[in-house]
Amino acid sequence: MRLGCPTHPVDDYRHFVGDGSECLVRRVLPEDRRDGSTVKSCHKMILDEYAHRWAENTRSYPGIPELLNELEKRGIPKAVLSNKLDDFTKLITAQLLPDVSFQIVRGALPSVPVKPNPTAALQIAEQMDIRPDRFLYLGDTNTDMQTAQAAGMFAVGVLWGFRTAEELVANGAQTLVETPEEVLYILDTKPTG
pLDDT surpasses 80 at 186: yes
Residue 25 to residue 13: CA distance in whole angstroms: 11
Instruction: Give yes or no for residue 36 having a pLDDT over 80.
Output: yes
Comparison of pLDDT for 104 and 47, the residue scoring more:
104
pLDDT score at 92: 96
pLDDT at 1: 52
* Stretch 125-140: mean pLDDT: 97
135-138 long-range contacts (CB < 8 A, ≥24 apart) are: 136/183, 136/186, 136/187, 136/190, 138/183
Q: Considering the chain, what is the average pLDDT of its residues?
A: 91
Confidence (pTM): 0.85
SS3 97: coil
The per-residue pLDDT for 34 is: 82
CATH 3.40.50.1000 maps onto the chain at 64-189
Confidence at residue 124, expressed as pLDDT on a 0 to 100 scale: 98
Domain 64-189 belongs to what topology?
Rossmann fold (3.40.50)
Instruction: Please tell me which of 30-34, 59-63, 149-153 the model is most confident about, judged by mean pLDDT.
Output: 149-153
Percent of the chain residues topping a pLDDT of 70? 95
Bridge partners for 157 per DSSP: 139, 176
In terms of pLDDT, which residue wins out, 170 or 57?
170
